[in-house]
Amino acid sequence: MGKYRFDKDDLNFVEDSRGLWGWIWVVVKYFCLSLVLAVLYYAVFSLFISTEQERELARETELMEVEYGKLHGRLQQLDNTIKNLQHRDREIYRSIFNAEPPVYSAYGDYDMFAGIDTTRIESVVEDSKMRLSVMERGMARVETTFEGIRGALDSLGSGVTAIPSIVPVKDFSIRQSGASVGKKINPFYKTVAIHNGMDLLAASGTPVLAGADGTVVKAVRNGRREGSSVTIDHGNGYVTVYNHLGKIRVRKGQRVKQGEEIAEVGLTGMSFAPHLHYEVWYKGKVMDPMDYFFSSITPQMYRDMAVVTANTGQSLD
């Protein structure tokens, strides 16, 4: 039985026959209603009902968060250990060089998680493990290095005064640098000869200082080649030699302190001009004295001195 509607014009009920658009509207209406119900069903299912896969992912996330917390605690402990090592390193540097240690890093604070996608906690945990392992190995190497430094200090003596670490000429300046260790032209014979020390130019009478604490084992006056000469044994493998002296103020067997005046610069022996010929020996091997001036000169001065000595091809003795 069809539907009827009231016709106002005829004042009568007539049969209501649907056209094409009427049926299209009905279909659209039911489709929209079904779509709304589907969305509501999905929302309720998503909010209140979890799948097994989702529950497994949630458990994995919780475990990773716990592991991340543990790693963070270990990193904090490692950071404190590194700070303690840095403090000990500075103290060792101060005890050896009597100066504040230089700062080599040109970067600010290190951001451990720089460049990591922190939206993925698995990536953070794995990267943290890798970096923690690297840092722990580095810390072990640093500790081994410190043990070596302690052993070396024990064998060399107490502090920087046991090492020939000063320029042995009073009021020294870079302009007074002369030829250092190596093959140099002899000023008298004009031939190439091995030069076992460093020439420090100074006027006659300039005080000559002991390079480190030690005992005078040789004090020779007016030797033929070296002129007046003093040799000091520092008791730890180091021996220093001072040639072409004027007045000598120490005697054989005398104990001296670092920086103590032991003689004056002179022009004795085979010397081309007033200067101090200074040698540093360690366990019978000749060393470059310039490398042992770290308590007296800055890195800039060392660089300038290296340029001067490298361009000085003739010795003064």
Q: Please give the Cα distance from 287 to 279 (Å, whole number).
A: 8
pLDDT at 65: 79
Query: pLDDT value at position 282?
Result: 93
Q: Which own/partner contact pairs does 160-163 have at CB distance under 8 Å and 24+ positions apart?
A: 160/95, 160/96, 160/97, 160/98, 160/258, 160/295, 161/212, 161/213, 161/257, 161/258, 162/212, 162/213, 162/234, 162/235, 162/236, 163/96, 163/212, 163/234, 163/236, 163/238, 163/292
The mean pLDDT of the chain is 80
Architecture field, domain 174-310: Distorted Sandwich (2.70)
Find the range with the poorest average confidence among 8-12, 118-122, 274-278.
118-122
Locate all alpha helices (DSSP H) within the chain, ordered by sequence.
Answer: 20-48, 52-97, 121-156, 299-310
103-160 pLDDT, tens digit per residue, is 544 434 444 445 545 455 566 667 667 777 777 777 777 777 667 666 665 656 656 6
Dihedral sign (CA 132, 136, 137, 138): positive
Structure confidence by residue, pLDDT tens digits, 220-258: 998 889 999 999 999 989 999 999 999 999 999 999 999
**CA–CA gap between residue 251 and residue 115 (Å, rounded):** 67
Average pLDDT over residues 9-24: 65
Question: Model confidence over 158-194: pLDDT tens digits?
Answer: 566 888 999 999 999 989 999 999 999 988 888 999 9
Domains of the chain, residue spans:
3-48, 52-156, 174-310
Q: How far is residue 304's CA from residue 300's CA, in Å, rounded to a whole number?
A: 6
